[in-house]
Structure 1
Amino acid sequence: MRGDAGLYLLVVAYTALGLLALSATGRGESAAYGVYVAKWFTLFGFLFPVLNLLLVYAIVIHRVDRRRTLALRLAFSTERLACLVAGVALLLSMMLFQGTYTSLKNALPHWQGGFPHDRLQADIDRWLHFGVDPWIWLYRIGEHDLVRLVLEWNYNVLWFALCFGALFYVATSPRTRRMRTRYLVCFMLVWVVCGNLLAGLFLSAGPAFYGAVTGDEGRFAAQLAFLAHGAQSTNSAVTYQTYLWSLHQYGTAGFGSGISAFPSVHVALAALNALFLWDHSSRLGLAAFAYVAVIVASSVYLAWHYAIDGYASIAIVAVIYFGVKHIEAWATGERQAHSFLSATSSTR
């Protein structure tokens, strides 16, 4: 856990600055810390750790015919369990991080006096896509209830499993030691830079709420009418959008509350995982980037985002990824140089 001191410091600093901003602007009611406790603890304190241990046990039993006891000892060695405990402890502390993120996101419309950039961003989207709103291109080839159901499941279920499963794996596995800190720093920066800073500077609500924030109900009316077909389905986008808007209208904090479209955190986290996978394997990286493309298309298809939200996210994440990688390489070189000089001076 000592090795994670810097990461804990980032969580504490972000939380302290967030609380200070909320207090200084009189937005204490935007705080959303309590809504994450039960779900976050269930996910990272129980479900993922239990699934991890069961998976390791199953792999040993399935693949090892002889000396299973020794294999199990290695699989559940002190080192592995220490990594698991340290990772789980860090992830549980990130309840504060996630609560701060949502609290600040809730406050953004109040600080900005609404959502001032939707019309401009939608117009840029149309200009980039040859004078046609990009959702129209997508619906020309995929306006079907089955497509909608698949994309809703992917966007609301599979994305969460992949992104937060990756977070758990990197935080708790001894195999990820060399890139663990870099990944976790990048993960936090994605939420802060994309989800708070840039979202606040270029605040928009997205196509689902375009009519409510601009008064132009017609631009996305046909898209929203189609999505309303799935209002009763389990992973309905329109149902969750209605939930978010009701929380916004009543000024209530809730799980996942807060509305902002630009840039897309959904796309950003998928892109972050793709970049790290590319470092490990070009084949896995290509598959991951294909998934990023699906997420970008899904975000537009389901009226969560303008296409430029996803495009911008990919560019921003690339800057974060290569920036942190460069800083880490520089810091490693500095430490090695210092160690070399210390060793040289001690031999004189």
Structure 2
Amino acid sequence: MLEIESEVIWRYIRNAAWRTVSIARSDASLYLFIGIYTATGLGFLAWVGALHRTAYQTYVPIWLMVFGFVLPAVSLLLETGWLLHRFERRRKFAAGKMFSAERMAVLFSGICLLMGIMIFQSTFTSVKNGMSVLWKGFPYDRALADIDAYLHFGTDPWRWLYVIGKHDWVRESVGWNYDMLWFIICYSMLFFIVTSPRTTHLKRRYVLSFMVVWVVVGNILAGLFMSAGPAFYGYVTGDVPRFGEQLSFLAQSRSASSAAVYQQYLWTLQTEGVTGLASGISAFPSVHVALITLNAVYTWEYDQRLGAIAFLYVAFIVASSVYLGWHYAIDGYAAVALTIALCAAVRKLVPDGEILMPGPARQSAAGGSRPEAVVTVS
């Protein structure tokens, strides 16, 4: 009996390991993209003399904790709870479905890919740090602010928002949403798409879109139109009064994680030439807006009603970025348009894969009690 159980366990491990490797091999193009980007980014840092500004040491421990432990544990707990609820009278079946070799292979290969994305995100921040070394300033703020005012009837758009939103509770609510809820939504969706068997058909296209948006919006265009944003406008142009009233109101927040506190943190890193979490200042276009737009695009693909809600949330994030002094409105407008265009381009270039799903014929033949799960990699 023990020999049979041991053989079953080893067969399960071999099957899960083989499937994990197979799925990881199908993600080779994504790993190649990360490798090329990282090599290019390090070459750029060497060229501008900023290799000391790399961010790997900052991101790796945080990313390992969040994506290597916390989110996998939460995901398994939630999915197990859902399956036990759905199959209340067939708990062995629910456990077998949850911990099948196929399910574990998708999860482990997804975590491996997330570790690659950890390197990508670290390189992104490193390149942002190098951009400020290259430019030694932010030459486009005045022009962007003037365009913003022109587009909004001759008035800086934050003034329109403050007509109805200059209240302490609004500031605290908007700040929490912009910093905390945005992060939870964006990175939970990344984790879900990369590690769920329900989204294997979207994974490569989504991750490539994710990385292309970061590179094009946050590195290439941000580097071409180097700007700091309203929070730092006085520092980079000498015109303190233009956004002074707004920044004074934001500074009244008592939250330790307020926009004003974080903006001061970023400016300190900038002036001291020190690397930290999310260091490197750039405003146009807004990566914050771009990333939530990316998720809205994919939500729209899944369900247009949910997608409409997601795009309303995008509009709220655009307004929030202006309200909190992070961005000019044009930063958000450009980010939305660019992200939609980039997602459309990636969709044409990258065909969807196949999804891990129950085999309907097998499930029907077994009366719905033994769904067949298959992993197809291409």
TM-score, scaled relative to structure 1? 0.93
> What corresponds to 2:329 in structure 1?
307
**Cα distance in 2 between the residues matched to 1:150 and 1:234:** 14
**Cα distance in 2 between the residues matched to 1:330 and 1:280:** 13
> What corresponds to 2:271 in structure 1?
249
| CA-atom RMSD in angstroms | 1.4
Task: Summarize the alignment of residues 7-46 of structure 1 with structure 2, pairs less than 5 Å apart.
Answer: 7-46=30-69
Q: Work out whether 1:261 is the aligned partner of 2:283.
A: yes
> What corresponds to 2:320 in structure 1?
298
**Cα distance in 2 between the residues matched to 1:101 and 1:239:** 23
Tell me which amino acid in the other structure corresponds to 2:288: H
Structure 1 residues 53, 330: closer, same or farther in 2, change over 3 A? Answer: closer
| 1:57 to partner: Cα distance | 1.3
> What corresponds to 1:192 in structure 2?
215
**Larger CA deviation: 134-143 vs 105-114:** 105-114
> What corresponds to 2:195 in structure 1?
172
> What corresponds to 1:322 in structure 2?
344
| 1:50 to partner: Cα distance | 0.2
- State percent identity of aligned pairs: 53
SS at match of 1:66: coil
**Larger CA deviation: 25-34 vs 183-192:** 25-34
Q: Work out whether 1:77 is the aligned partner of 2:77.
A: no
Tell me which amino acid in the other structure corresponds to 1:142: G
Q: Which has the higher helix share?
A: 1
Q: Work out whether 1:87 is the aligned partner of 2:110.
A: yes
> What corresponds to 1:340 in structure 2?
none
| 1:235 to partner: Cα distance | 2.6
**Cα distance in 2 between the residues matched to 1:11 and 1:259:** 23
Of 164, 167, 171, which residue of structure 2 is paired with 1:148? Answer: 171
Task: Summarize the alignment of residues 91-110 of structure 1 with structure 2, pairs less than 5 Å apart.
Answer: 91-110=114-133
SS at match of 2:228: coil
Tell me which amino acid in the other structure corresponds to 1:263: P
**Cα distance in 2 between the residues matched to 1:119 and 1:100:** 29
| 1:107 to partner: Cα distance | 1.4
Is the contact made by 2:59 and 2:118 (CA closer than 8 Å) also made in structure 1? yes
Tell me which amino acid in the other structure corresponds to 1:144: H
**Cα distance in 1 between the residues matched to 2:137 and 2:273:** 13
| 1:61 to partner: Cα distance | 2.4
**Poorly superposed stretches of 4+, deviation over 6 Å:** none
SS at match of 1:178: coil
Tell me which amino acid in the other structure corresponds to 1:326: K
**Cα distance in 1 between the residues matched to 2:83 and 2:119:** 36
Q: Work out whether 1:271 is the aligned partner of 2:271.
A: no
Tell me which amino acid in the other structure corresponds to 1:248: Q
> What corresponds to 2:375 in structure 1?
none
Aligned length: 331
| 1:330 to partner: Cα distance | 11
| 1:113 to partner: Cα distance | 2.6
| 1:37 to partner: Cα distance | 1.1
Task: Summarize the alignment of residues 221-236 of structure 1 with structure 2, pairs less than 5 Å apart.
Answer: 221-230=244-253, 232-236=254-258
Task: Summarize the alignment of residues 49-88 of structure 1 with structure 2, pairs less than 5 Å apart.
Answer: 49-88=72-111
Structure 1 residues 330, 247: closer, same or farther in 2, change over 3 A? Answer: closer
Tell me which amino acid in the other structure corresponds to 2:155: V
**Cα distance in 2 between the residues matched to 1:152 and 1:77:** 42
Gaps of 5+ in 1: 333-348
Residues 150-205 of structure 1: CA deviation (Å, up to 9, x unaligned): 11100110000000000000000111111111000000011101110000000100
**Larger CA deviation: 86-95 vs 202-211:** 86-95
Structure 1 residues 172, 264: closer, same or farther in 2, change over 3 A? Answer: same
| 1:329 to partner: Cα distance | 4.5
Residues 247-293 of structure 1: CA deviation (Å, up to 9, x unaligned): 00000001110000000011001111111111110111011001101
**Cα distance in 2 between the residues matched to 1:162 and 1:73:** 29
| 1:331 to partner: Cα distance | 11
Is the contact made by 2:269 and 2:276 (CA closer than 8 Å) also made in structure 1? yes
**Cα distance in 2 between the residues matched to 1:209 and 1:307:** 15
> What corresponds to 2:142 in structure 1?
119
TM-score, scaled relative to structure 2? 0.86
Greater C-alpha radius of gyration = 2
Tell me which amino acid in the other structure corresponds to 1:103: S
**Cα distance in 1 between the residues matched to 2:327 and 2:348:** 31
Residues 200-226 of structure 1: CA deviation (Å, up to 9, x unaligned): 000100000000000000000000000
**Cα distance in 2 between the residues matched to 1:157 and 1:327:** 33
Residues 309-341 of structure 1: CA deviation (Å, up to 9, x unaligned): 000001100111100111124999xxxxxxxxx
Q: Work out whether 1:215 is the aligned partner of 2:234.
A: no
